[in-house]
Structures are given as structure tokens and as C-alpha cells.
Amino acid sequence: MTHFLSEFTSQIAATSLLEWVAVVLAIAYVLLAAKQNSWCWLCAFVSTAIYTWLFWQVTLPFQSALNFFYMIMAGYGYYQWSKGTEEGSVKPVRHWPLWIHLLIVPSMLLMAWGLSLVAGSQFNSEYLLLDASINLLSVVTTFMVAHKILQNWVYWFFINLASAYLYLQVGYALSACLFLGYVGFAVFGYYQWLVQYKKQGEHVGYHRHAAKGA
């Protein structure tokens, strides 16, 4: 335990300015996303641009590619959120049925296993399978965020736990702490979106009732 704490403290002390900036902007992204503020996507763009470089330096190719993808998705997410609905209101929160998730998760994990085998011939890293699994599930989950699918926060809960472990193993202790914090943010975000989802249901129910009474 003493050795772990000593190593952890050393990693924090050695944290680069770039990683600090990326972490601060990443926290801003999650808080703004939970509040459904479109400025979250600008924070995401800059933070992920930095992480694209950082992860390449420690031979996490899938994490580097994932963050490059996040840069593109930051623009896509902003576009989706800014559209709202045809009436100009806030884009509604949606819910996917269980069967969709039962298809997504096993499929992504199987693909990750295949990718890790292929990448093993090019990269020397013992974390390729975990790296690839986080990558693919995060890609799907980012699309869920852009389209305001409620369950995205459940996915992020588990992805963030796995990411925290991975980053600690490669020496990014500050980022590991960030992703542990993200676990709590995922719970907060889910609650925030669930409240809106329920309000939408009440709103629809009220209008249907009014239409029947008319």
C-alpha cells in the first residue's frame, strides 16, 4: 500500500501542464453536458485534441484514435444539439429498449478482441484488449450522447471505471482520478436527464388528455 501511494504521488507530481489543461476541460465538458449546455462540445474538442497526443506517447493507439474521433464528434454533437426540434425547443431525451443494448455490448467486445489481435503485431502493449474495448464502447456511447439517449450515462459509468484503471497503469494518475470522478458525474448526469425524460412524458400525456377532452 505504501509503495502504491508513493508511486501515485510521484505520478501526480510529474503531471504535465498539457494533462492538467486536458483534465480541467474534460471536467467542464461533463458538467456542461449534464446541464445540456452546448458549450460542452468546445471543451470536449480542445481536451480530446490534447489527449490524442498524450495517449500516442504511451502506446495506447486505440485511446489516441478514440480521442481523435471525439474531436470530430464534438462538432457533430454541437450540430445535433443546436438543431433542437422542428419547433425550436430543446432536443428531447430518448430511451432505447433493452434488446438494443444486448446487441451492442457483446458485439463491441467481440470486435475489440479482434482488433487487439490485429494491433498486437504492430504495438507492444499488454493493455490492447482493454484499450480497444474502451474505444469501441466509447464510440457508440458518444453517438448516444449526441442523440440524447438516456442510457449513455450507464455506459459511461462502466467505461470510466475501466479507463481509470488503464490510465493508472500507464502513468497518467491525474487522468485516472478524473475518470474516477467521471463515475460520479455519470450518476449525476443520468439523474439530470431522467428528470427531463419524465417531464417529457408528463408533457405528452397532458397534451393527449387535452386533445381527447377537446
Cα first-last separation, the chain: 70
The one-letter code for the residue type at 76 is: Y
pLDDT of amino acid 206 = 44
In order, the DSSP letters of 129-176 are HHHHHHHHHHHHHHHHHHTTBTTHHHHHHHHHHHHHHHHHHTT-HHHH
pLDDT at 203: 57
* Residue spans of alpha helices (H) in 2-151: 2-13, 17-34, 40-57, 61-83, 98-119, 128-146
Check residue 128 and give its pLDDT: 87
Candidates 4, 19, 2; CA nearest to 178 is 19
Residue 209: predicted pLDDT: 44
pTM of the full predicted structure? 0.73
| pLDDT tens column, 18-69 | 888 888 998 888 788 777 788 888 899 999 999 898 888 877 888 888 889 8
Q: Residues with Cβ < 8 Å from 148, sequence gap 6 or more?
A: 81, 91, 92, 93, 94, 193
Per-residue pLDDT of the chain (214 residues; tens, 9 = 90+): 666 666 667 767 667 788 888 889 988 887 887 777 888 888 999 999 998 988 888 778 888 888 898 888 888 888 877 775 444 566 788 999 999 999 999 999 999 999 888 887 776 678 889 989 999 999 899 889 888 899 999 999 999 999 999 988 888 888 888 889 889 889 988 998 999 888 887 655 544 544 454 4
Q: What is the pLDDT, as a whole number, of residue 152?
A: 95
pLDDT at 210: 45
* pLDDT the model gives residue 175: 82
